[in-house]
């Protein structure tokens, strides 16, 4: 009888240990095929780490995720981990809810090795660092490239543009009123009336919207000669020369339909470009044409850990963060989604090498990484985006002149900074 009781007790204790898994939530905004890949990666991690259960929670689009994070920070209901843009993290850091990662990265037992940390691309490390403190690890990263219709370039005997001057020339050559009815049927170029597309031109012209000074204060530099040239070029392509189709929405559909021959967008659009162009014409991408410098902006989020979790959850969360930036997982993530691997070590994996051999153009975005530009890691970047987005839309839609738009944006940004 005693043996039976002892066995029952032992099995009960064993069951407690088996059931005592560390659970953490990971909030994300990856839908569709990207969300499926997130789920696959999470399942793979959970299978390899039976003592941990990571629950991937799809919150919705980025806007929904941002709002949920801000509300949850107020109510102390943040998860263990979440995707976040740098300016979201900047808003949360002063609240003391974001876990610093320096200690974990440098930990001799569970940290990243010197090789692993050095292999993360420098621009991506810049995007997750405030001063000397690291508050995130990079996750889904993309960059802007020039998409072009290979059939049209061959037909017109054109070289792929390497400079902005080349871009304007090619756009002029490719713009046509094919049926001679007075309306352009085929534009040489297309762009969106957004801050992101304006920043692509501005940074190529060695300009910026704001400057973060050494004391942490913000200087508004949007009303500059570089910004005027960049905005004027966009205006001229749309109106003076009439060689660019412009709209607020994405351009993969008009590109696929042959209404535009070139456009600049992130590599995350590749699957949409491919599906829209399939059976109609070929396409490829090339580096963003150079102006004064080569400085294509980076886009994408990081993964942050929050402080309101216990020690076991923190250890589990860090283990999962390391898993996300490991070479094999980054190669898998990149191949499946089209995002860039955040670590150079991924390029040495068999999966990436096979992928690059089958798709040589994937080397184009990688070649731009050393020259890429990043958004300032400041909380008011959302406000900057809203102001500049309005400015670009107003100027291109001829509600303000270039000078009026820049002057208005400058005053709006100065007002926002003064009131923060």
CATH classification at residue 8: 3.40.190.10
Q: What is the mean pLDDT of residues 364-378?
A: 92
Report d(CA 152, CA 145) in Å as an integer. Answer: 18
In this structure, the answer to whether residues 392 and 283 fall within a common structural domain is yes
Paired tokens of 23: 């659970």
Predicted confidence at residue 20, as pLDDT, reads 73
The count of other CB atoms within 10 Å of the CB of residue 15 is: 10
Phi, psi of 368 (to 5 degrees): -90, -15
Write 333-337 long-range contacts (CB < 8 A, 24+): 333/37, 333/41, 333/140, 336/33, 336/37, 336/40, 337/33, 337/34, 337/37, 337/140, 337/268
Q: What is the mean pLDDT of residues 379-408?
A: 97
Nearest partner of 83 among 74, 75, 92, judged by Cα? 92
Predicted confidence at residue 214, as pLDDT, reads 87
SS3 for 285?
Answer: strand
Paired tokens of 11: 């099995």
In this structure, the answer to whether residues 285 and 415 fall within a common structural domain is yes
Paired tokens of 349: 């994996």
Report d(CA 134, CA 19) in Å as an integer. Answer: 34
In this structure, the answer to whether residues 46 and 162 fall within a common structural domain is no
Predicted confidence at residue 11, as pLDDT, reads 47
In this structure, the answer to whether residues 151 and 227 fall within a common structural domain is yes
Angle between helices 32-48 and 311-324 (to 10 degrees): 120
pLDDT above 90 for 150? yes
Report d(CA 385, CA 379) in Å as an integer. Answer: 11
pLDDT digits (tens, 9 = 90+) for 260-294: 999 999 998 998 999 999 999 999 999 999 999 99
Containing domain of residue 249, as a range?
143-297+375-419
The count of other CB atoms within 10 Å of the CB of residue 136 is: 29
In this structure, the answer to whether residues 108 and 214 fall within a common structural domain is no
In this structure, the answer to whether residues 64 and 159 fall within a common structural domain is no
Report d(CA 24, CA 305) in Å as an integer. Answer: 11
pLDDT above 80 for 8? no
Give the HSE-up count for residue 396: Cα atoms under 13 Å, Cβ half-sphere. 26
In this structure, the answer to whether residues 156 and 113 fall within a common structural domain is no
Paired tokens of 133: 């403190």
17-36 per-residue burial string, b: 16 or more CB within 10 A, e: under 16: eeeeebebbbbbbbeeebee
Q: Please give the tally of structural domains in the chain.
A: 2
Q: What is the mean pLDDT of residues 168-196?
A: 96
In this structure, the answer to whether residues 79 and 35 fall within a common structural domain is yes
How far is the CA of 23 from the CAs of 48, 49, 53, 321, in angstroms?
15, 11, 5, 14
pLDDT above 80 for 19? no
Paired tokens of 244: 């660019």
In this structure, the answer to whether residues 268 and 404 fall within a common structural domain is yes
Q: What is the mean pLDDT of residues 412-419?
A: 95
Paired tokens of 331: 């190669």
According to DSSP, residue 236 is labeled I
Q: Which residue has the higher pLDDT, 187 or 19?
A: 187
Instruction: Look over the chain and give the mean of its residue pLDDT values, rounded to a whole number.
Output: 94
pLDDT digits (tens, 9 = 90+) for 301-337: 999 999 999 999 999 999 999 999 999 999 999 999 9
SS3 for 111?
Answer: coil
Residue with tokens 């905004």: 29
Predicted confidence at residue 6, as pLDDT, reads 47
Report d(CA 245, CA 254) in Å as an integer. Answer: 9
In this structure, the answer to whether residues 99 and 184 fall within a common structural domain is no
Predicted confidence at residue 5, as pLDDT, reads 47
SS3 for 323?
Answer: helix
83-95 per-residue burial string, b: 16 or more CB within 10 A, e: under 16: bbbbbbbbbbbee
Q: Which residue has the higher pLDDT, 13 or 222?
A: 222
For residue 7, what pLDDT band results from cuts at 50, 70 and 90? very low
Report d(CA 116, CA 322) in Å as an integer. Answer: 10
Q: Answer yes or no: are the C-beta atoms of 377 and 127 closer than 8 Å.
A: yes
For residue 4, what pLDDT band results from cuts at 50, 70 and 90? low
Pairing of β 81-84 and β 298-305: antiparallel
pLDDT above 70 for 2? no
For residue 9, what pLDDT band results from cuts at 50, 70 and 90? very low
How far is the CA of 280 from the CAs of 120, 214, 360, in angstroms?
38, 52, 22
For residue 189, what pLDDT band results from cuts at 50, 70 and 90? very high
In this structure, the answer to whether residues 238 and 313 fall within a common structural domain is no
In this structure, the answer to whether residues 52 and 66 fall within a common structural domain is yes
Report d(CA 279, CA 276) in Å as an integer. Answer: 9
Predicted confidence at residue 215, as pLDDT, reads 86
For residue 12, what pLDDT band results from cuts at 50, 70 and 90? very low
pLDDT above 80 for 82? yes
According to DSSP, residue 380 is labeled T
Pairing of β 210-212 and β 218-220: antiparallel
* 416 contacts: CB under 8 Å, gap ≥ 6: 380, 383, 384, 387
How far is the CA of 211 from the CAs of 93, 179, 195, in angstroms?
20, 49, 16
Predicted confidence at residue 295, as pLDDT, reads 95
């Amino acid at each position: 009888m005693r043996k039976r009781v002892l066995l029952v007790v032992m099995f009960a204790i064993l069951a407690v240990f088996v059931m005592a898994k560390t659970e953490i939530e990971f909030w994300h905004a990856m839908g569709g095929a990207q969300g499926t890949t997130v789920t696959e990666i999470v399942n793979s991690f959970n299978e390899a780490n039976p003592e941990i259960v990571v629950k991937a929670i799809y919150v919705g689009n980025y806007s929904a995720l941002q709002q949920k994070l801000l509300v949850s920070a107020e109510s102390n209901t943040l998860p263990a981990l979440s995707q976040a843009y740098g300016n979201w993290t900047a808003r949360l850091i002063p609240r003391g809810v974001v876990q610093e990662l320096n200690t974990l990265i440098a930990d001799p037992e569970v940290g990243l090795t010197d090789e692993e940390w050095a292999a993360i691309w420098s621009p991506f490390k810049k995007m997750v660092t405030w001063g000397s403190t690291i508050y995130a690890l990079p996750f889904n990263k993309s960059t802007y490239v020039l998409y072009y219709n290979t059939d049209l370039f061959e037909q017109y005997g054109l070289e792929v543009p390497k400079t902005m001057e080349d871009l304007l020339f090619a756009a002029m050559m490719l713009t046509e009123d094919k049926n001679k009815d007075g309306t352009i049927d085929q534009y040489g170029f297309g762009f969106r009336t957004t801050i992101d597309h304006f920043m692509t031109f501005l940074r190529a012209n060695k300009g910026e919207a704001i400057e973060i000074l050494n004391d942490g204060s913000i200087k508004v530099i949007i009303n500059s000669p570089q910004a005027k040239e960049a905005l004027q070029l966009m205006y001229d392509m749309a109106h003076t020369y009439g060689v660019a189709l412009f709209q607020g929405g994405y351009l993969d559909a008009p590109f696929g339909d042959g209404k535009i021959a070139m456009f600049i967008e992130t590599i995350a659009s590749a699957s949409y470009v491919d599906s829209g162009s399939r059976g109609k014409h070929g396409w490829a991408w090339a580096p963003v044409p150079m102006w004064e410098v080569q400085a294509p902006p980076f886009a994408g989020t990081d993964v942050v850990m929050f402080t309101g979790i216990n020690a076991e959850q923190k250890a589990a969360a860090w283990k999962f963060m390391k898993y996300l930036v490991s070479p094999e997982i980054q190669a898998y993530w990149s191949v499946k989604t089209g995002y860039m691997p955040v670590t150079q070590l991924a390029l040495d994996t068999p999966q990436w090498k096979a992928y690059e051999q089958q798709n040589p153009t994937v080397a184009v975005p990688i070649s731009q990484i050393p020259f890429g530009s990043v958004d300032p890691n400041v909380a008011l970047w959302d406000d900057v985006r809203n102001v500049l987005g309005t400015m670009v839309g107003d100027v291109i839609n001829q509600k303000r002149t270039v000078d009026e738009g820049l002057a208005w944006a400058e005053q709006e940004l100065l007002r926002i900074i003064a009131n923060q």
